[in-house]
Chains A and B, each alone.
Chain A
Amino acid sequence: MRLLRLIPDDTSVPFMKFRPFAFGLSALISIATIIGFLTIGLNIGIDFKGGTLVELQTKQGNANISELRTRLQGANVGDVQLQEFGGPNLVMLRYGEQPGGEPGQQAALRRVRALIDADFEVRRTEVVGPTVSAELVQMSVVGVILSILAVLIYLWIRFEWQFAVGAMIATLHDVMAIIAFYVFTQADFDITSIASVLTIIGYSLNDTVVVFDRIREMMRKHKRMPVAELLDIAINSTLSRTTITATTTFLALLGLFFFGGEVIQGFTASMLVGVIVGTYSSIFIAAPILIYLGLREGGFGAVRSDAGEDGDGASGKAKV
C-alpha cells in the first residue's frame, strides 16, 4: 500500500533564511491588527459589554426582518441588531445594555417579548447585566495572562529561559493573529472567543514545545554546530509531524465548522485560523527568535540529560 506523505522524508528547507521575511510579515500583520483594533475595533459580544441576545424562530413562514425592525422600535431599547441566523425562519436579535441596572435589563426584555411572542418562538435568550459583564472581562484577561505565565514558568523549569521567552513571544503573536481574525471578520468576540484563544495558546505551545524538544536534543549532540543550521535541522526533522498533527486538528475542526451548527461556528472558525497561525509561529517565530536570544552563550550543554541517553547521535547525523 502506498502511504500518503504530505512532506517528503528528507527535507532540508533553509527556514532560518526566511526569517527576515517571516518577521517582516508577522510585524506587518501585527501592525495591521493594532491599527484595525484601534480603528475598527472588536465586535464585542454581550458577555463583555452587557446586553441582551434573543434567538427567534417564526411560528409560520419566513421571518420579515424589516417589519420586525419597525415593530421593535416600540420596545424602546435603543439600537436593535437583527440578522438571519442559520435559516430564513431564524432571527438573531441583539441590543445593548439598558439604563436602570439589573432590573432595567429585565424590564426591557419583557417589553421586547410582549412585541414578538405572538408570532415567534424564543429559542434562546441571554441577558448579561453590567456587574457580570465587568467580571467576565476581568476573568478573561486574568485567564489569558495566567496561562501564558504558567507555561512560561513550566518551560523555564524544563528548558532554558531563552525557550520560555521564545515560546511566549510566539504565543503573543498567535493571540494577536486571533484578535486580527475577530477584528477583520467582525465575528462576535465573547466568552467562547476567550476559550478559543486559550485553546490556541495550548495548541501553539504544544507545537512549539515539540520543535524546542528537538532543538534541545540536537544541541546536546552537536555541540559545535552553528545555531542557525541546528535550528533548521531540528525544524526539518519535525516537519512531517508538525504538518500531520496540524492536518488532523484542522480536519476535526473542519467537521465542526461545517456541521456543528451556527452556535459554535465563530468559535471553530477562529480555531481553524489559530491552528494555521500556531503552526506557522512555531516554525517561523519561536525557533528563529532563539538566535537573537543568544541560545548558545548561556552555556547550555550536556549538564542535564533526560532524553536520548541511549542515543549515539545516529538519528541526528543521518540528515546532516
Chain B
Amino acid sequence: MLSFTRWKATLILMAVFATMLLAVPNVMPQSWVDKLPRALRTHMTLGLDLQGGVHLMLQVDSDEVRRSMLENLRDDVRRVLRDSRLQVQNLGFQGNSVVVRLREGQNNELALTELRKLPQLIGGAFSTSGQYDFEVSRQGDSFVVAATDAGTRDKISRAVTQSIEVVRRRIDQLGTTEPVIQRQGIDRILLQVPGERDPQRLKAIIGQTAKLEFRMVDQSVTPEQALAGRPPADSVILYEEVKEGNRVVQQVPYVIQRRIIVSGEELVDAQAAFNAQQAEWVVNFRFNSSGGRKFAQATTENVNRPFAIILDNKVVSAPVIREPILGGSGQISGRFTAESSANLALLLRAGALPAPLTVVEERTVGASLGQDSITSGTQAAIIGSIFVLIYIFATYGLFGLFANLAVIVNVVMMFGLLSLLGATLTLPGIAGIVLTVGMAVDSNVLIFERIREEVRSGRSVIASIDGGFTKAMGTIMDANITQLLTSIILFYLGTGPVKGFALTLGLGIITTMFTAITFTRYLVVIWLRVFKPARIPM
C-alpha cells in the first residue's frame, strides 16, 4: 500500500498540475488570458448574484397558442369547404375542436373527404411518431375536427422555439454581452442578461408581442353607433390609448375591418426618426416586395379614406390616405417619445412573438451588491480557510501540514474543474467551497486518527501508517458517497445559485477523495523515504 510506482506518482502530480493550469486563467489579467491558446482559456463565469444582472423566467401563454391554433383551424375548415362549393350552416368551437355543420342537402361525403385532407403528420415528412395534429370525425350531421394532444403539444413547443428566436433577436439588438436564453420545461424560457441594470427596460422589450397590422377603418358606422349596437359582422371595435406618462388617460374607439391589408411579417426594416415638419418622433419602415404591392394596391383604392396601424390589438394611429403609397415604405406616427419610437422600431425589426410572454419569476442583482458579495465572499472564504488550516496544524503538527497542503491542492483542483466545466460561480457556490474546505479535512482526519490508533496498539511506524490508510479507505468511501448522493439530488432539483452550491459541494467531495487517498499518501510516503522516522509525530 505504501509503495508508489514511478508512473503512479507522476500521474498524481500531473493531475494536480493540470487542474492548476486550468484554474490559472481565473486570476490572470485579461490581456494575458487573450494571449493563451483557446483550449487553455478556461475560466469560471460569475453568477448573476456576483456580477449583477437580470434573471427572468418567461412563460409562453399556451392558452393563446391554443386559441390561435383553433382560429387558424376554423379558417382552414371554412376555406376547404368554400373551395368545394359546400354551404355551411354553422361553424364554431367546442373545447379543443372545431365543429361544422353543412346546410340541408349538401354533399356530406365530399365534405368529409375534403376535411380529411386537413390533418398533417407532426414533424412533417420526417415524422418519427406517425401522429397527426388533428382528427376528423363525423357525429350525426356535424363534423368535428379536433386537435390531438400531440398536435397541441407540438404547436406549443414550436411557439416556444419561435419565441426564443424572437427574444434572442430583440436582446441582441440591445448590444448586451453573453445573454443566456434557454428553453426550460415545456413552455418556459430562461433569460439571463449579465450586467443589465434595468429590468424594467428589458421587460418592456420582452413583454410586448409586437404584432403589427395595417387594416382599413370601417366608415359605414360611427364608433358611437357601433358601441351602442353591434359593429358590422366583418369589423371590430379597437381602441387607441392616449397616455400621459405611463397612465392611460383616454381610450378612443375605432371601428376597424377584420381583413388585414399587410402585417408586420412583411416588414424588412424599421428605424426610429425625428420628423422635423411635425416635430415628433416617428418610425420609418420598409415592406418586402409582396407587402409593398399589397400596400400600394390598398392605398390606391382607398385614397381619402383612413386606415389604421394596429399594434397588439391597439390602434397606434389612423391616418387618412392622401395619395397612393407606391414605394413600399412608410411612416408610423402616434405620440411617440424618442425612447418609445426606438423600442417600437427594435420590436418591428426583431419580429412578433407567436404568443404573449409573461414573467413568472424575476431576480435582479445590482452591480454594487454583486461587488459587495464578491468582496465579502472572498473575505469569508479566506478567513474560514485560515481558521481550518491553523486548527489542523495545531492538532496534527507535521501531518497537519500535509493535510493542509492537501486542502490547498484540493481547492485549486476544484477551481480547475469548475473552470474546465465553464461552471458558474455563485455566492452559495463560494459557501460550498468554504464548506468543502471544512469537510475536506475529514478524509485526512479519518486516516490520521486511524494511524494514531495503530500506533497506540504498538505497531511500527510503517505498519501504522499502512494500516491507517488501508482501514480508513472503506469509511472514506461510504461517508463521501452518501454526501455525494445528496449533492447530486440538490444539483438536479436546484436552480440558479443553489445549483452552483450543489456543484461546488459535489465536485469538492470528489476532489477530496482524490487528494486524501492519493496526494496526502504521496506526501507521507516521501517523508518516510527521506527521513526514515523512528516515530510518528502526532
Report chain B residues within 8 Å CB of A207: 479
Report chain A residues within 8 Å CB of B386: 255
Tell me, in angstroms, the Cα distance from A191 to B363 when the chains sit together.
Answer: 13
Instruction: Say whether A259 contacts B383, CB under 8 Å.
Output: yes
Instruction: Say whether B478 contacts A158, CB under 8 Å.
Output: yes
Report chain A residues within 8 Å CB of B200: 110, 113
Instruction: Say whether A132 contacts B445, CB under 8 Å.
Output: no
Say whether B392 faces chain A, with CB atoms less than 8 Å apart: yes
Report chain B residues within 8 Å CB of A310: 467, 470
How far, in Å, is A96 (CB) from chain B's closest CB? 16
Instruction: Say whether B57 contacts A126, CB under 8 Å.
Output: no
Say whether B453 faces chain A, with CB atoms less than 8 Å apart: yes
Tell me, in angstroms, the Cα distance from A110 to B441 when the chains sit together.
Answer: 49
Q: B254-262, B298-306, B373-381, B514-522: which one contacts chain A?
A: B373-381
Instruction: Say whether B361 contacts A256, CB under 8 Å.
Output: no
Tell me, in angstroms, the Cα distance from A9 to B479 when the chains sit together.
Answer: 23
Given A154-B481, A154-B482, A241-B445; A248-B392 close (CB under 8 Å) = yes
Residue from A142, A260, A315 within 8 A of B453 (CB atoms)? A315
Given A315-B457, A318-B453; A132-B482 close (CB under 8 Å) = no
Given A259-B383, A311-B471; A192-B434 close (CB under 8 Å) = no
Given A121-B366, A203-B483, A252-B387; A259-B498 close (CB under 8 Å) = no
Tell me, in angstroms, the Cα distance from A253 to B226 when the chains sit together.
Answer: 71
Say whether B195 faces chain A, with CB atoms less than 8 Å apart: no
Instruction: Say whether A249 contacts B438, CB under 8 Å.
Output: yes
Instruction: Say whether A248 contacts B442, CB under 8 Å.
Output: yes
Say whether A186 faces chain B, with CB atoms less than 8 Å apart: no
Tell me, in angstroms, the Cα distance from A233 to B293 when the chains sit together.
Answer: 93
Residue from A254, A268, A308 within 8 A of B471 (CB atoms)? A308
Report chain A residues within 8 Å CB of B362: 106, 109, 125-127
Over the window 486-500 of chain B, the binary record of Cβ atoms lying under 8 Å from chain A Cβ atoms (1 yes, 0 no) is 110110011101100
Tell me, in angstroms, the Cα distance from A17 to B48 when the chains sit together.
Answer: 52
Residue from B397, B428, B489 within 8 A of A192 (CB atoms)? B428
Instruction: Say whether B364 contacts A125, CB under 8 Å.
Output: yes
Residue from A122, A201, A252, A307 within 8 A of B384 (CB atoms)? A252
Q: List B400-457 residues whose CB lies under 8 Å from chain A.
A: 427-428, 430-431, 434-435, 437-439, 441-442, 445-446, 449, 452-454, 456-457
Instruction: Say whether A3 contacts B373, CB under 8 Å.
Output: no
Q: List A213-269 residues whose CB lies under 8 Å from chain B.
A: 213-214, 237-238, 240-241, 244-245, 247-256, 258-261, 263-264, 267-268
How far, in Å, is B241 (CB) from chain A's closest CB? 16
How far, in Å, is B312 (CB) from chain A's closest CB? 14
Report chain A residues within 8 Å CB of B358: 101-103, 129
Instruction: Say whether B388 contacts A252, CB under 8 Å.
Output: yes
Tell me, in angstroms, the Cα distance from A125 to B202 when the chains sit together.
Answer: 14
Instruction: Say whether A256 contacts B431, CB under 8 Å.
Output: yes
Report chain B residues within 8 Å CB of A4: 391, 394-395
Tell me, in angstroms, the Cα distance from A243 to B46 when the chains sit together.
Answer: 35
Q: A34-42, A143-151, A287-295: which one contacts chain B?
A: A143-151
How far, in Å, is B273 (CB) from chain A's closest CB? 29
Tell me, in angstroms, the Cα distance from A264 to B365 when the chains sit together.
Answer: 14
Say whether B124 faces chain A, with CB atoms less than 8 Å apart: no
How many residues of A are counted as interface, with CB atoms below 8 angstroms from the partner's CB atoms? 90
Residue of A nearest to B368 (CB): A123
Tell me, in angstroms, the Cα distance from A131 to B457 when the chains sit together.
Answer: 62
Given A245-B445, A261-B376, A318-B457; A251-B388 close (CB under 8 Å) = yes
A4, A103, A214 — most chain B CB neighbours (10 Å): A4
Q: List A63-96 residues whose CB lies under 8 Å from chain B.
A: none
Report chain A residues within 8 Å CB of B246: 110, 114
Say whether A22 faces chain B, with CB atoms less than 8 Å apart: no
Instruction: Say whether A252 contacts B486, CB under 8 Å.
Output: no
Residue from B431, B441, B478 within 8 A of A209 (CB atoms)? B478
Tell me, in angstroms, the Cα distance from A241 to B403 when the chains sit together.
Answer: 14
Tell me, in angstroms, the Cα distance from A113 to B365 when the chains sit together.
Answer: 15
How many residues of B are counted as interface, with CB atoms below 8 angstroms from the partner's CB atoms? 87
Say whether B475 faces chain A, with CB atoms less than 8 Å apart: yes
Instruction: Say whether A264 contacts B427, CB under 8 Å.
Output: yes
Instruction: Say whether B445 contacts A244, CB under 8 Å.
Output: yes
Number of A-B contacts (CB under 8 A): 266
How far, in Å, is A233 (CB) from chain B's closest CB? 12
Residue from B199, B434, B458, B482 within 8 A of A252 (CB atoms)? B434
How far, in Å, is A164 (CB) from chain B's closest CB? 11
Residue from A143, A240, A245 within 8 A of B441 (CB atoms)? A245
How far, in Å, is B511 (CB) from chain A's closest CB? 16
Say whether B372 faces chain A, with CB atoms less than 8 Å apart: yes
Report chain A residues within 8 Å CB of B392: 248
How far, in Å, is B387 (CB) from chain A's closest CB? 4
B363, B428, B458 — most chain A CB neighbours (10 Å): B428
Report chain B residues within 8 Å CB of A55: 369
Given A143-B489, A155-B482, A241-B446; A248-B457 close (CB under 8 Å) = no
Instruction: Say whether A102 contacts B457, CB under 8 Å.
Output: no
How far, in Å, is B204 (CB) from chain A's closest CB? 10
Tell me, in angstroms, the Cα distance from A139 to B498 when the chains sit together.
Answer: 12
Over the window 132-145 of chain A, the binary record of Cβ atoms lying under 8 Å from chain B Cβ atoms (1 yes, 0 no) is 10000001101100
Tell me, in angstroms, the Cα distance from A102 to B359 when the chains sit together.
Answer: 6
Say whether B157 faces chain A, with CB atoms less than 8 Å apart: no
Tell me, in angstroms, the Cα distance from A209 to B446 when the chains sit together.
Answer: 12
Report chain B residues within 8 Å CB of A247: 391
Residue from A102, A139, A150, A314 within 8 A of B485 (CB atoms)? A150
Residue from A9, A114, A155, A306 within 8 A of B456 (CB atoms)? A9
Tell me, in angstroms, the Cα distance from A248 to B369 when the chains sit together.
Answer: 29
Instruction: Say whether A241 contacts B366, CB under 8 Å.
Output: no
Residue of B nearest to A241 (CB): B449
Say whether B59 faces chain A, with CB atoms less than 8 Å apart: yes
B364, B454, B473, B475 — most chain A CB neighbours (10 Å): B475
Report chain A residues within 8 Å CB of B479: 205-207, 209-210, 213
How far, in Å, is A84 (CB) from chain B's closest CB? 15
Report chain A residues within 8 Å CB of B395: 3-6, 244
Report chain B residues within 8 Å CB of A314: 457-459
How far, in Å, is A309 (CB) from chain B's closest CB? 9
Report chain B residues within 8 Å CB of A127: 359, 361-363
Q: List A281-312 residues whose CB lies under 8 Å from chain B.
A: 306-308, 310-311
Instruction: Say whether B385 contacts A213, CB under 8 Å.
Output: no
How far, in Å, is A90 (CB) from chain B's closest CB? 9
Given A248-B388, A248-B391, A267-B431; A129-B360 close (CB under 8 Å) = yes
Q: Could you give 23 example pairs across A and B, Cβ below 8 Å? A: A3-B395, A102-B359, A123-B369, A124-B369, A127-B359, A140-B493, A143-B493, A151-B482, A206-B479, A210-B475, A210-B479, A241-B445, A251-B438, A252-B385, A252-B434, A255-B383, A256-B384, A261-B377, A263-B369, A267-B428, A310-B470, A314-B457, A318-B453
The 5 closest A-B pairs by CB, nearest first: A255-B384, A252-B438, A261-B376, A260-B380, A249-B438
User: Knowing that A3-B538, A260-B431, A315-B467 are A-B contacts, what are 9 other residue pairs whose CB atoms are under 8 Å apart, sorted by A's residue number?
Assistant: A6-B395, A123-B366, A127-B363, A154-B482, A195-B501, A214-B475, A244-B445, A252-B437, A252-B439
Binding site for A on B (CB under 8 A): 49, 57, 59, 199-200, 203, 207, 246, 358-366, 368-369, 372-373, 376-377, 379-388, 391-392, 394-397, 427-428, 430-431, 434-435, 437-439, 441-442, 445-446, 449, 452-454, 456-459, 467, 470-471, 473-475, 478-483, 485-487, 489-490, 493-495, 497-498, 501-502, 505, 537-538
